[in-house]
Structure formats: C-alpha cells, structure tokens
Amino acid sequence: MSARSLRVWAWLHKWSSLVCTLFMLLLCLTGLPLIFAHEIAHLTGKAVELPEPQARAGQAPLDAVVAAGRARHPDRVVQYASPDEEDARLWYVTLTPRLDVTDDYRSVAIDGRNAQVLAEPRYDEGFMYWMARLHIDLFAGLPGKLFLGLMGLLLVIAIVSGVVLYAPFMRKLDFGAVRQASGPRTRWLDLHNLLGIVTLVWALVVGATGVINTWADLLVKYWQYDQLSALLSPYQGQPIVPEAERAPLQRSLEAAQAHQPDKRLLFIAFPGTAFSSPHHTTFFMQGNTPLTAKLLKPVLVDARSAEVTAAPDLPWYLTALLLSQPLHFGDYGGLPMKIIWALLDVVTVIVLGSGLYLWLKKRRQGGAATRAAGAAAAGRGSR
C-alpha cells in the first residue's frame, strides 16, 4: 500500500473515531445494563409473576382479559395485548389516550387464568427507562435514532480503516505484542490495537445491527406503504371498526392460531394502530425455536367477521431488522451469551477510551513541540 493511501486511511480512522467516540462510549455504558434487562427486572422485583396457588386453573376468555385492562383505564383505548414471553398465562394490555399516541401509555398485567389485574408496571420511569431512552434515541425521537445510526456508520468506518492500518503496523511486531519499555503512550497504543482486533467481529456485528435498529420506524412505515396498503386497499376509506361491532377477540385469536398452527402468539395489534388496519385485528405469530421466534408472521383477521383476510410474509428488510434486534443485545443464547456480550462491551469501552487518550496525548505532545520550536526560534531571533 502506498504512503498516500495509508495517509487517507489514517485520516478516515482518526476523524471517524473522534466524531463517534463519545457517543459510542455513551451507547456502550447504557447498553451494558440493557443486556441484563430481564435479569435486573427479576432482581429488583419489577417483574410481574403469577400467584402460584392457582397454577392449575384454566384460561379465561381473551375478551375478559382485555376488558379487565380496559376497566382499569376507561378513559384510554387498547392498542396492544400480549402474553408474557416466559409464561403465556400472564397477559399485558397496553392502553393510550388515543390510537395515534405512542409515548403516553399504561401497561396492565393480568392473570390470564381468571382475568384479575395483578399490577401496573411502569416502563416509562426509573433507571432502566433512562438507560433505554439514552441508548435508543437520546430522548429525541426519530431524529435521535437517525443521529445515533450515523454515529454507528462512523464506527463501522473506524473499524474497517483500523483493520487496514493494523496490517502494515504489525509487520514490525509480533501479534499481540505490547511494548513495555517504550513509555505509557506506546503501551496504550499496542493495547488499543490488540483489543481492537480481538473485538473486531463483535464490534462490527453490534455496530451494524445498531444501525439497522435505528431505521426500525422508517422500515415499518415503508412496509405499511409498500405492501400492507396493497392488502388493505379493499377497505380504504372505511372508518375504524367500533368496539361494539367487533367479533369476540377469542374467536379471532382461534382463527389466527388455526391458520398458523405451528406458531405461537407474540402480540395483538388492535384496529387502527400502527401495526394493524382500521378494519383488522392483527395477530403477530412467532416460531418455537430460538431463531424462528425472532421471525414474525402477521395474520390479519377481519375485526367484524373474525375471518382471516391475509397472512403476508414479511419483506427481507423487516426480517433483517427482526434478526438484528436480539443479536444487538446478545439475546440468542441465554445468560452465557449475555455475559460474553457484556465482557466484550467492557473491552470496547477500553478501546474507545484508549483511542481518545492516544489522540489527546499526541495533541499535547504536538503542542508542546510547537511551543518549544517557537521558543527556540524566538531565542535565536533575539541574538
């Protein structure tokens, strides 16, 4: 590689790293507790659990479960309902002031065996909420997400350019060598390069999946415009089906389950919400294996007749989004994978911090050298 090419790659690595480093440090620090969000909820008593004395009871009709949530907040409308990931007998009903509101919601936990309200967990307050919002959008909504996506792209550029620069640099040293006798800056440079290479694949995966996740809102809207609108064209212009005219929700669920017997329910989107249509109740089904559980199958059920209207396959870009979301937080292999993700996260913090230290140290040394040269020139001039 020519000297000019190396200078270009060095410039790319320097400035892409400098621009994104502080934000990447923020994302690594806020992402660390989010890796263990489920475990933290159980340790802090935030997780809702079913009373076990009724463990052998049957299942209440889904209509009664949703009605219990609605009765808790009669001034709100139901947007979504979902069974708990670990215990399908526990249900959560999400209510908002209006169907077009997404940032003011109440979640009601309901015992699916007897339709009794158990708790109203708040997911819009507390330490984990602050960590999640800082990590997802910096409390700035879609502009914040897209900005963090840009920082993620700069991280990918920094990683690729760092690999390009690492190859000629390591021709002079053994792999993994950390020079102890050359001063602290050289030791940190060697450690920065070594840890950067060790975490290379992980950082690329987390960086790339993070970028994809920031596009989630736009991808869903494009899917609604590109494919869902074509399926719903026969119902265009019709108002939202009133609750009084809807078929029993339990019958609609049974129709969706009969249409996809090899899948289980993830969540229900009610008519008029962002993931459904004014005329349908949409049941999002998932597979039963660790991989297929991340791939969703929407089943659109006519809200009046409880008949399945369509069950489209999700486009490739939404499939990529769904696969990237759990991979971003190491949510494929249980607790062992989460621990590995956390350790790599900590190492990445060291890489980012050492890179910032090396730049500041070099800048100070360069400034000191410039001042010394100026002083020497001034001394010669005075003579």
pLDDT digits (tens, 9 = 90+) for 176-213: 566 666 667 777 777 777 777 778 888 898 999 999 99
244 in a structural domain = no
Separation CA 223–CA 5 (nearest Å): 41
Cα 149 to its chain centre, rounded Å, is: 12
Domain assignment present for residue 106? The answer is yes
Give 87-123 pLDDT, tens digit per residue: 889 999 999 999 888 778 999 999 999 999 999 998 8
- Residue 173: pLDDT band with limits 50, 70, 90: low
Q: Are 128 and 122 in contact (CB under 8 A)?
A: no
Separation CA 126–CA 121 (nearest Å): 11
Residue 95: predicted pLDDT: 95
Mean pLDDT over the full length of the chain: 85
Say if residues 324 and 304 touch (Cβ distance below 8 Å): no
Give residue 55's domain range: 47-120
Within a domain: residue 303? no
Instruction: Flag whether pLDDT at 308 surpasses 70.
Output: yes
Query: Is residue 4 situated within a structural domain?
Result: no
Residue 46, number of CB atoms within 10 A of its CB: 15
Q: How many other CB atoms sit within 10 Å of the CB of residue 83?
A: 19
**β-sheet bridge partners, residue 280:** 277, 302
Whether the Cβ atoms of residue 6 and residue 165 lie closer than 8 Å to each other: yes
Burial of 331 (0-12, 13-18, 19+ CB in 10 A): middle
Q: Is the pLDDT of residue 175 over 80?
A: no
* φ, ψ dihedrals at 181, nearest 5°: -100, 10
**Residue 169, pLDDT score:** 63
Domain contains 272: no
What pLDDT digit, counting tens, does each position of 340-374 carry? 999 999 999 988 888 888 888 777 766 555 555 55
Partners of 78 in beta bridges: 95
Tokens 């760092």 belong to which residue? 162
**Which of helix, strand or coil describes residue 323?**
helix
Residue 82 confidence (pLDDT)? 96
Q: Are strands 264-269 and 280-286 parallel, antiparallel or unpaired?
A: antiparallel
Task: Note the residue count of the chain.
Answer: 383
Structural domains in the chain (count): 1
Radius of gyration of the chain from Cα atoms?
27
Q: Are 257 and 249 in contact (CB under 8 A)?
A: no
Does 378 have pLDDT greater than 60? no
Tell whether 5 is covered by a domain. no
Residue 160: phi, psi to the nearest 5? -60, -45
Q: Is residue 250 part of a domain?
A: no
Q: Is residue 107 in some structural domain? A: yes
**Domain CATH for 67:** 3.10.450
DSSP code per residue over 29-59: HHHHHHHTHHHHHHHTT-S----GGGTT---
Say whether 378 sits in a helix, a strand or coil: helix
Beta strand pairing call for 280-286 and 296-302: antiparallel
Spatial distance between the Cα atoms of 295 and 316, rounded to a whole number of angstroms: 11
Return the structure tokens found at 256: 């969706």
- Numbers of helices and strands, H then E, in the chain: 12, 8
pLDDT, tens digit (0-9, with 9 covering 90-100), for 2-57: 778 888 888 998 899 889 999 999 999 999 999 999 889 888 878 888 887 655 56
The model's confidence at residue 299, banded by pLDDT at 50, 70 and 90, is: very high
